[in-house]
Amino acid sequence: MSSHDRPVSGHPQDGTAIDWAQLGPLLERGAALQTPLYEQAAGWLRDLLIPDVASDTGAVAGAVAGEDAVGRILDVGSGPGVVSCLLARAFPAAEVCAVDANEALLERARARAARLGLDGRIHTHLAEVPYGLDSLGGGDLIWSSRALHHVGDQRGAVAALAGHLRPGGLLAVSEGGLAPRFLPRDIGIGRPGLQSRLDAAAEDWFTEMRAALPDTTGAIEDWPAFLADAGLRTPRTRSFLLDLPAPLSADARHYIQANLTRAMELYGDQLDPDDLSTLARLTDPYDPAGITRRPDAFLLAAQTVHTARAQ
Ligand SMILES: C[S@@+](CC[C@H](N)C(=O)[O-])C[C@H]1O[C@@H](n2cnc3c(N)ncnc32)[C@H](O)[C@@H]1O
């Protein structure tokens, strides 16, 4: 079987396999909440790709000089297409292709694009990276957020994406940052410092998840080095902040509640009984100490973006 006709297979069916279709609503809600963060990142990518725009006063009928430089964007591992739509808005001359290994998520991406009136400029493509991108014609910008860590050979995946850049194109990989924070250290129930213990359990789960991926490699997760190894130039890294202070919207509260519920399912067995009962209270919609009711919940997160350019 050649690298181009490898079937879309999803992830291995073990304890760390992810049901992406079932996660769709949570992914979409989470990415939508992160809109301010992604908008900052998209603005930075615009400055890198169309540097004259900031000083350019010659906007004509909605077009900006240099805008045509970005005619094609690939959003690889797009999930439900929230960022695909934001990129379409940030680069009005571009057509955006949302690429994902899960058809149900691509269906969500198409529905979202249609709701936002962007369906003429966003299309979808089913592929399991690093395979299945040859027919797309490359990209002036290839964006991939929080997807490549689900590929066994991350360095190889970066190299594969770099190979699909058009001349002068930019590869932007959003991986890493800071674990989100959403509660004070002492929340009045259970042992203080719950979030740090959740982070530690999540790290162990993540390591197991990566170890179970097909063709997994143990490379140091040095994303700028992966970009350099792929022959790309002018590396840049920046991190962007999501800062939603208390009082949180109901939407954000439900997002955190769903994440905590998922944490219990994925790595609850790593936590002690005291922390498990705290989580049970936090996720209880009727408990006044629960995340949907307490006044002190906030959402603070940082996401890192690594970029480099083709010659
Ligand atoms: C955590 S979600 C991120 C979604 C979106 N990029 C975002 O930042 O909101 C990871 C996505 O990567 C996709 N994915 C995982 N492995 C993939 C692969 N080998 N090829 C293409 N997509 C993949 C999943 O289906 C899922 O949609």
pLDDT in tens, 235-288: 999 999 999 999 999 999 999 999 999 999 999 999 999 999 999 999 999 999
pLDDT at 60: 41
Distance linking the first and last C-alpha atoms of the chain: 32
Q: Is the pLDDT of residue 227 over 80?
A: yes
Residue nearest to atom 14 of ligand 1 (CA): 77
Question: Which pTM value belongs to this model?
Answer: 0.93
Q: Which of 11, 82, 150 to mutate to test the pocket of ligand 1 (most atoms within 8 A of CB)?
A: 150
| Residues 115 and 84 sit within 8 Å (Cβ to Cβ) | no
The pLDDT tens digits of the residues spanning 116-171 come to: 999 999 999 999 999 999 999 999 999 999 999 999 999 999 999 999 999 999 99
Task: Give mean pLDDT, residues 296-310.
Answer: 98
* Dist. CA 38 → ligand 1 center (Å): 16
- What pLDDT is stored for residue 2 in this prediction? 30
Find the residues whose C-beta lies inside 6 A of ligand 1: 20, 27, 31, 77-79, 82-83, 100-102, 105, 128-129, 145-147, 150-151
C-alpha of residue 184 to centroid of ligand 1, in Å = 31
187: nearest Cα among 298, 21, 98, 112: 298
Q: Whose CA is nearest to atom 7 of ligand 1?
A: 145
Spatial neighbors of 72 by CB under 8 A, at least 6 apart, are 94, 95, 97, 137, 138, 139, 140, 141, 166
Give residue-wise pLDDT tens across range 71-130: 999 999 999 999 999 999 999 999 999 999 999 999 999 999 999 999 999 999 999 999
Percent of the chain with pLDDT over 70: 91
Q: Which of 6, 19, 27, 173 to mutate to test the pocket of ligand 1 (most atoms within 8 A of CB)?
A: 27
